[in-house]
Amino acid sequence: MSLFLCPICKQPLEQEPNRYVCPTGHSYDIASAGYVHLLPANQKNSLLPGDDKRMAAARNRFLNGGWYQPLRDAIAQIVAVRLPEGGVLFDSGCGEGYYTAGAAQLLRDCGKKAQIYGIDISKFSLRWAAKRDRSIAFAVASAYHLPLPDTSVDVLVNCFSPMAAEEFSRVVKPGGWLLYVVPAPRHLWEMKCVLYDRPYENREQRIDYPGFGNETVTRIDYSTHLPDQQTIQDLFGMTPYVWKTPKEGAARLAQLDALDTQISFDLHLFEREG
């Protein structure tokens, strides 16, 4: 039995070779790439929500280059330590599955069994995710309407995705964990100095989320060399800056042959209170 619930009637979904089906007869085909679509029309904010095909491809190329490997390793290590044997790992806003697959691989290397699920609102991203690791169950779904039962998740990872705190509190088990990854204040600082006449630091926040406590924060901080314009544009295209950068700044970035920039993330780990 799958952990996924039918998005219409909230009944458990059973996975068959080519589809998921619930006891009331609702059926969801598994795409040839390997993911299932569990996003009803009334939960969409557009015809094709989330990252488009171009953005998903750029993110996939950049991450496959290993530029964020230290973050992937840190997420996987936290998951491996916190996830109990046979536990449930859920990645909300998993994108093209880079971090989900990294955690899955480390769990296999450690000999720890787990059930692993990921959702994203972009079907284009999930095409990459499902091909990356066939052992993970991926679905198109909304973080604000997770197709999961109450208190069913041991570790929930949310990396650069919407913080649906109420839903996360609903699905994470008491004593379970929420790992929330955000850009640190000077993440991509040198890139921002090219894009903006007055670059700004990301706001550093400490926020209490209902149902979660015992917060610890780990910072991943290093510099990297982006060796060519394609890599620079792939990184630029997967950031929010692509939507709000003046044309002059984007033009300056397009003239660079290479870029050295700071990479900096904060990993917030919360325990679900009982």
Residue 204's pLDDT is 85
* Adjacent-strand bridge partners of 15: 20
The answer to whether the beta carbons of residues 117 and 141 sit under 8 Å apart is no
Q: What would the pLDDT profile of 160-186 be if each residue is shown by its tens digit?
A: 998 999 999 999 999 999 999 999 999
Q: In what order do the strands lie in the sheet with 114-120?
A: 36-37, 137-140, 114-120, 87-92, 153-159, 172-183, 259-272, 212-226
Q: Which domain holds residue 161?
A: 50-272
> What letter would DSSP give residue 107?
H
Let me know if residue 30 belongs to a domain: no
Residue 52's pLDDT is 84
Q: In what order do the strands lie in the sheet with 14-15?
A: 14-15, 19-21, 27-29
Residue 45's pLDDT is 60
Q: Stretch 39-45: mean pLDDT, rounded? A: 70
Q: Stretch 192-216: mean pLDDT, rounded? A: 90
Q: What would the pLDDT profile of 252-265 be if each residue is shown by its tens digit?
A: 999 999 999 999 99
Nearest to 161 by CA among 139, 133, 183: 183
Let me know if residue 37 belongs to a domain: no
Tell me the percentage of the chain whose pLDDT exceeds 70. 96
Please tell me whether residue 228 adopts helix, strand or coil conformation: coil
Let me know if residue 175 belongs to a domain: yes
Per the structure, how many domains does the chain have? Answer: 1
**What span, in angstroms and rounded, lies between the C-alpha atoms of 107 and 76?**
8
Let me know if residue 10 belongs to a domain: no
Residue 47 has pLDDT above 60, yes or no: no
Residue 190's pLDDT is 98
Whole-number average pLDDT of the chain? 94
Residue 208's pLDDT is 84
Let me know if residue 172 belongs to a domain: yes
Residue 46 has pLDDT above 70, yes or no: no
Q: What are phi and psi of 27, to 5 degrees?
A: -130, 140
- The tokens for 135 are 């052992």
Binned at pLDDT 50, 70 and 90, residue 31 comes out as very high
Residue 57 has pLDDT above 80, yes or no: yes
Let me know if residue 148 belongs to a domain: yes
Let me know if residue 95 belongs to a domain: yes
Q: Stretch 187-211: mean pLDDT, rounded? A: 92
Residue 44's pLDDT is 56
Residue 128's pLDDT is 95
| CATH number of residue 262's parent domain | 3.40.50.150
Q: What would the pLDDT profile of 86-112 be if each residue is shown by its tens digit?
A: 999 999 999 999 999 999 999 999 999
Residue 230's pLDDT is 97
Let me know if residue 3 belongs to a domain: no
Binned at pLDDT 50, 70 and 90, residue 206 comes out as confident
